[in-house]
Amino acid sequence: MGLILPGEFLRNEDALVEPEGEPGMRKTAIPIIVLLVLQALWLETSRAGDPGRPEFSEEFAKQEEIYHSRGEQVPEGYVTGRSLLSYTLILSSEFDRALANLGSRDRWLDIGAGAGRAILDYYTSRYDLMHVEGRERRGKKASAVAISIEDRRTPAWHESAASLGAGKIQYFFGRRLREYSSEELGRFQVITDVLGGFSYSQNLSLFMEKVLAFLELGGSVFTLLQDVQSEKGTSPPYYAGSPFLTEIVNSSGSEVRVCSWLKSITCVEVACESKESLQPPLETYRIRKVCNDVVVPALVPRHFQAGTPPERGFQLRNK
């Protein structure tokens, strides 16, 4: 099942449903093994984001096959060419304005950017026509950086990079986010992650630490999860008899909602917004950095099942 928008958008060539298929697949053609591991086995390795046990390694290898797939081998639900309009439709309602308000001295980081289509859309005249208000105040557009596990740049990316001039748009690939330093990437006023690392990371707490380290004070991260328990706690799993795609429990095994976990991070303001009209339903997050002493409550990986996106379970680490 792909991610489905209300019918009015399905006829739009730039809408969320794209030729490759949309994320939302609980399973792929790859055989899946459900894995549960006791927290004590992971106290040291979870911080590195690579638990390293054979059982987890098998699922991680399957996930790597998805990342590196090409052509007909790309599984249904793994999209690499999502448009900026798609971002606007499924991210927080505040995202469009935040991006439009960026000026020439500002920077935008797109994590899990794939072919970088959303960034290319930002530099088009069509985007300018849709965001006339404040254009003179903004001046020239912000710089943008795309990060992807694989190099999925198209001729359109290279043409735009050449026409925009050196350094206006950059593309990094071949490494996980945790492998980049602030000195290498710099800081950003806006960070987006649309079914990228936030939905796929094997170590969610380490991922968030890195993301917030790249965020300027006063800047915002815009991301989402699909098939996750909502802030209100009223949404059942999309697939009957299956867990949510991302679940967190505390030391006693009680549910911790992702929205609540994000709000427990120090030095951030978090807004959670459910979009139940989409199928599967999703929850979007706007995370604004308000001070620099960021502390992310640590999560221990306890379950990982490869997919697009994968099924993940975490447990809060005891202090």
Say which residue, 290 or 309, is predicted with more confidence.
Answer: 290
- The reported pLDDT for the residue numbered 50 is 46
Q: Which of 25-34, 71-80, 283-292 has the lowest mean pLDDT?
A: 25-34
- Please state, in angstroms and rounded to a whole number, the distance separating the CA atoms of residues 21 and 54: 31
Mean pLDDT of 29-48: 32
The tens digit of pLDDT for each residue in 126-176 reads 999 998 876 776 668 999 999 998 999 999 999 999 999 889 999 999 998
Q: Domain span at residue 17?
A: 7-316
Specify if 236 maps to a domain. yes
If DSSP codes are grouped into helix, strand and coil, which group holds residue 258?
helix
Helices (H), the chain: 7-10, 54-67, 84-90, 95-100, 117-122, 125-130, 135-138, 155-164, 182-185, 197-200, 204-213, 258-263
Specify if 241 maps to a domain. yes
Specify if 78 maps to a domain. yes
Number of domains the chain is built from = 1
Q: Which of 37-41, 52-56, 102-106 has the lowest mean pLDDT?
A: 37-41
Specify if 46 maps to a domain. yes
- Distant-in-sequence, close-in-space partners of 151: CB < 8 Å, separation ≥ 6: 171, 173, 174
Say which residue, 45 or 294, is predicted with more confidence.
Answer: 294
- The reported pLDDT for the residue numbered 79 is 74
pTM over 0.85: no
Query: In the predicted model, is pLDDT for residue 292 greater than 80?
Result: yes
Mean pLDDT of the chain: 82
Query: In the predicted model, is pLDDT for residue 23 greater than 60?
Result: no
By CB atoms closer than 10 A (0-12, 13-18, 19+), residue 272 is buried
Q: What is the CATH classification number for the domain harbouring 218?
A: 3.40.50.150
Sheet holding 169-173, edge to edge: 169-173, 143-148, 107-111, 188-193, 215-226, 282-289, 268-275
Residue 78 banded pLDDT, cuts 50, 70, 90 = low
Say which residue, 201 or 38, is predicted with more confidence.
Answer: 201
The values of phi and psi at residue 200, to 5°, are -115, -20
Most confident of 20-29, 211-220, 271-280, 296-305: 211-220
- Please state, in angstroms and rounded to a whole number, the distance separating the CA atoms of residues 260 and 112: 24
If DSSP codes are grouped into helix, strand and coil, which group holds residue 173?
strand
Query: In the predicted model, is pLDDT for residue 48 greater than 80?
Result: no
Specify if 1 maps to a domain. no
- Distant-in-sequence, close-in-space partners of 8: CB < 8 Å, separation ≥ 6: none
Q: Which of 145-154, 294-303, 305-314 has the lowest mean pLDDT?
A: 305-314
Count how many residues are written for the chain.
319
User: Cβ atoms within 10 A of the Cβ of 34, count?
Assistant: 11
- The reported pLDDT for the residue numbered 280 is 86
Specify if 277 maps to a domain. yes
Percentage of the residues of the chain whose pLDDT score is greater than 70: 79
Specify if 2 maps to a domain. no
The values of phi and psi at residue 274, to 5°, are -85, 140
- Please state, in angstroms and rounded to a whole number, the distance separating the CA atoms of residues 153 and 176: 17
Say which residue, 138 or 109, is predicted with more confidence.
Answer: 109
- The reported pLDDT for the residue numbered 107 is 98
Q: How many helices (H) and strands (E) does the chain have?
A: 12, 10
- Please state, in angstroms and rounded to a whole number, the distance separating the CA atoms of residues 61 and 212: 28
Q: Based on C-alpha coordinates, what's the Rg of the chain?
A: 19
- The reported pLDDT for the residue numbered 282 is 94
The values of phi and psi at residue 92, to 5°, are -50, 145
Query: In the predicted model, is pLDDT for residue 75 greater than 80?
Result: no
- Please state, in angstroms and rounded to a whole number, the distance separating the CA atoms of residues 122 and 119: 5
Specify if 24 maps to a domain. yes
Residues 90 and 15: beta-carbon distance below 8 Å: no
- Please state, in angstroms and rounded to a whole number, the distance separating the CA atoms of residues 208 and 178: 10
